[in-house]
């Protein structure tokens, strides 16, 4: 491995993977440091959805929805084995807060932001089809169906890393960041791999370490305070039921939050929760109250099915620290430069990882030399990785 790099990335989740692919495709010397394994954290513990974020319309995040709908359609083209178009259903009941008129307006806006493409169309499901969906019928007023997509989040992250490696990016894994010194024209980095202390220099350091973002930043000299954020735990449960006909987008009766009930291979997946997390990243685990909450949401809408939980998992979101409830906080990635030549990524959506990587490259290009691009991430095909022995 070369010890003189253009871009050093900390973290091999989907955001770090995307930046690595974008940087090496632009012709730069790239290395990724990952302390555990590819997609070991939140990037394997998401809702497995590649979507525009219909619910973000309620908080007026129109630019985010437009961006992610565009990226969803791009991923459907370049990763057809990994990202699958899936029907989404919204059942509306007499007891739900969002009535049929509001849902219809939201879907019309969603379709407009998606460019009125076929993948952004929606329909009203006829009453003759309601029983085929296996949902509760009492008080059911309307059912809407639209299109979004699903993926195996870990498999998608592995595919992006593999794409970056095929273009020449290096992966050090497991390798843990120790410290860094920012100078006028370089970042001098110390990391540990196989019990050995390693050193390298890079023109730019990209901190894509997810919930460890401020911890990594604290290890860089000159010192720089990170952004004020809160870690929010999202829990999912896997139920011992055959997969539903599509993804059901429902309103939790307990607090009116949006919850997804989804197919996951040959089972059902239900999520997610939003619980403020104050422990050490990496130690998060589903809480009994979260499991009960999701089980109750499921039973409310599918009362005739088993709510037996086979497994559960929890991941951490990095959200801006505000007075608002987590559900109402901005969900787009925040890019923060400081000290010079160090860029940190806060938050971000699985669907928008490639567009985020493009934004990162625009922010750091002033530190980088002019190069000859090798590829364009908008057209690079992504395929399932059968050999993941690299990490």
CATH of the domain at 262: 3.30.9.10
Please list the helix, strand and coil fractions of the chain in percent, rounded to the nearest 5, in that order.
Answer: 30, 30, 40
pLDDT tops 90 at residue 301: yes
Q: Are 50 and 148 in contact (CB under 8 A)?
A: yes
Determine the pLDDT at residue 389: 56
Which residues does residue 260 pair with via DSSP β-bridges, in sequence order? 249, 271
Is 192's pLDDT higher than 80?
yes
Are residues 180 and 35 part of one domain?
yes
Q: How many CA atoms lie within 13 A of 164 on its CB side?
A: 32
Both 30 and 173 in one domain: the answer is yes
| Interval 346-373 mean pLDDT | 95
Q: Check residue 320 and give its pLDDT.
A: 76
Alpha-carbon gap, residue 78 to 18, rounded angstroms: 14
H helices of the chain, in order, are 14-25, 62-78, 100-113, 153-166, 213-218, 288-301, 353-364
Query: Are 214 and 378 spatial neighbours (Cβ–Cβ below 8 Å)?
Result: no
Question: Given 149, 176, 211, which residue is the final one in a domain?
Answer: 149
Structure tokens at 64: 């985010």
CATH of the domain at 158: 3.50.50.60
The pLDDT-based confidence of 94 (bands split at 50, 70, 90) is: very high
Beta strand pairing call for 30-33 and 187-193: unpaired
- Answer whether residue 325 shows pLDDT above 70: no
Assess whether pLDDT exceeds 80 at residue 300: yes
Bond preceding residue 143 cis, omega within 30 of 0: no
92/234 same-domain check: no
Structure-block tokens of residue 339? 């000290």
pLDDT(133) > 60: yes
Judge whether 203 lies within some domain: yes
pLDDT value of position 59: 87
Residues β-bridged to residue 215? none
Q: How confident is the model at residue 390 (pLDDT cuts 50, 70, 90)?
A: low
**Do 186 and 239 have their domain in common?**
no
Same domain? 212 vs 277 = no
231-243 residue pLDDT tens? 999 999 999 999 9
The structural domain count of the chain equals 3
The residue-averaged pLDDT of 190-212 equals: 95
* Residue 197, pLDDT above cutoff 60: yes
196 in a domain, yes or no?
Answer: yes
Other C-beta atoms within 10 Å of 148: how many?
Answer: 25
Nearest to 246 by CA among 124, 390, 379, 148: 148
Q: What is the DSSP letter of 90?
A: E
Percent of the chain with pLDDT over 90: 84
Residue 385 φ/ψ, nearest 5 degrees? -95, 120
Considering the domain boundaries, does residue 49 fall inside one?
no
- Decide if 361 is inside a domain: yes
Spatial CA neighbour of 263 closest among 11, 5, 47, 6? 47
Beta-carbon neighbour count of residue 260 at 10 Å?
Answer: 20
Bridge partners of 221?
181
Predicted confidence at residue 107, as pLDDT, reads: 96
Residue 145 CA to residue 327 CA, distance in Å, equals 23
Tell me: do 307 and 164 sit in the same domain: no
Select from 107, 132, 149 the last residue of a domain: 149
pLDDT of 223 above 70: yes
Of 290, 320, 350, the last residue of a domain is 320
One domain, residues 186 and 171: yes
Q: Tokens for 350?
A: 């699985």
Band (132; pLDDT cuts 50, 70, 90): very high
Q: Same domain, yes or no, for 165 and 32?
A: yes
Q: Give percent of the chain with pLDDT exceeding 70.
A: 96
CA distance 321 to 86: 33
29 vs 296: CA distance, rounded Å: 50
How would residue 329 be classed by pLDDT, with cut points 50, 70 and 90? low
- 243 lies in the same domain as 310: yes
Q: Are residues 137 and 200 in the same domain?
A: no
d(CA 164, CA 103) in angstroms, rounded, equals 40
Q: Is residue 375 part of a domain?
A: no
Is residue 51 one of the residues assigned to a domain?
Answer: no
- Judge contact between 23 and 30, C-beta under 8 A: yes
Q: Is there a domain that residue 385 lies in?
A: no
**pTM confidence score:** 0.94
Looking at residue 146, its pLDDT comes to: 97
Q: Above 80 in pLDDT, residue 1?
A: no
Query: Which residues touch 276 (CB under 8 Å, ≥6 apart)?
Result: 230, 231, 232, 233, 326
Domain that holds residue 334: 4-43+154-228+330-367
Residue (of 39, 30, 37, 36) closest to 170 by Cα position: 30
Is residue 15 scored above 90 in pLDDT? Answer: yes
How much is the pLDDT for 331?
65
- Asked if the structure places residue 59 within a domain, the reply is no
pLDDT digits (tens, 9 = 90+) for 235-272: 999 999 999 999 999 999 999 999 999 999 999 999 99
pLDDT for residue 225:
81
pLDDT at 3 over 90: no
Whether residue 323 has pLDDT greater than 70: no
CA-closest candidate to residue 334, choices 38, 34, 64: 64
pLDDT at residue 319, as a whole number: 87
**Distance (Å, rounded) from C-alpha 68 to C-alpha 42?**
18
Model confidence pLDDT, tens digit, residues 168-189: 999 999 999 999 999 989 999 9
Same domain, 248 and 305: yes
- pLDDT tens profile 350-362: 999 999 999 999 9
Same domain? For 218 and 338 the reply is yes
Contact (Cβ atoms closer than 8 angstroms) between residue 49 and residue 149: yes
Q: Work out the number of other CB atoms within 10 angstroms of the CB of residue 342.
A: 24
């Amino acid at each position: 491995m070369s010890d003189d790099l253009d871009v050093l990335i900390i973290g091999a989740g989907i955001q770090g993977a995307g930046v690595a692919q974008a940087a090496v495709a632009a012709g730069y010397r790239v290395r990724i440091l990952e302390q555990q394994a590819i997609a070991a954290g939140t990037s394997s513990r998401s809702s497995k959805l590649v979507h525009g974020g219909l619910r973000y319309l309620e908080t007026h995040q129109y630019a985010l929805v437009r961006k992610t709908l565009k990226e969803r359609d791009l991923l459907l083209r370049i990763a057809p084995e990994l990202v699958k178009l899936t029907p989404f259903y919204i059942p509306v009941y007499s007891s739900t807060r969002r009535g049929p008129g509001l849902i219809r307006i939201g879907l019309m806006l969603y379709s407009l932001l998606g460019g009125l493409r076929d993948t952004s169309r929606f329909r009203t499901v006829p009453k003759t089809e309601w029983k085929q969906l296996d949902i509760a019928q009492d008080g059911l007023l309307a059912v809407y169906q639209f299109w979004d997509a699903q993926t195996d989040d870990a498999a998608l992250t592995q595919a992006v890393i593999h794409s970056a490696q095929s273009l020449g990016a290096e992966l050090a894994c497991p390798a843990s960041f120790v410290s860094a010194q920012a100078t006028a024209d370089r970042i001098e980095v110390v990391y540990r791999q196989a019990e050995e202390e390693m050193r390298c220099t890079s023109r730019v350091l990209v901190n894509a370490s997810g919930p460890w973002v401020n911890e990594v930043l604290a290890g860089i000299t000159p010192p720089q305070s990170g952004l004020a954020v809160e870690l929010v735990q999202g829990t999912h449960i896997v139920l011992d039921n055959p997969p539903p006909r599509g993804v059901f987008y429902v309103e939790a009766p307990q607090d009116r939050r949006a919850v997804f009930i989804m197919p996951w291979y040959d089972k059902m997946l239900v999520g997610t929760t939003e619980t403020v997390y104050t422990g050490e990243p990496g130690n998060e685990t589903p809480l009994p109250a979260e499991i009960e909450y999701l089980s109750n949401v499921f039973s409310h809408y599918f009362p005739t099915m088993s709510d037996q939980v086979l497994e559960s998992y929890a991941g951490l979101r990095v959200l801006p620290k505000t007075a608002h409830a987590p559900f109402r906080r901005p969900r787009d990635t925040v890019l923060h430069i400081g000290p010079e030549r160090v860029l940190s990524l806060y938050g971000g959506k699985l669907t928008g990882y490639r567009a985020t990587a493009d934004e990162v490259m625009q922010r750091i290009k002033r530190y980088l030399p002019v190069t000859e691009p090798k590829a364009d991430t908008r057209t690079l095909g992504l395929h399932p990785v059968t050999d993941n022995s690299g990490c």
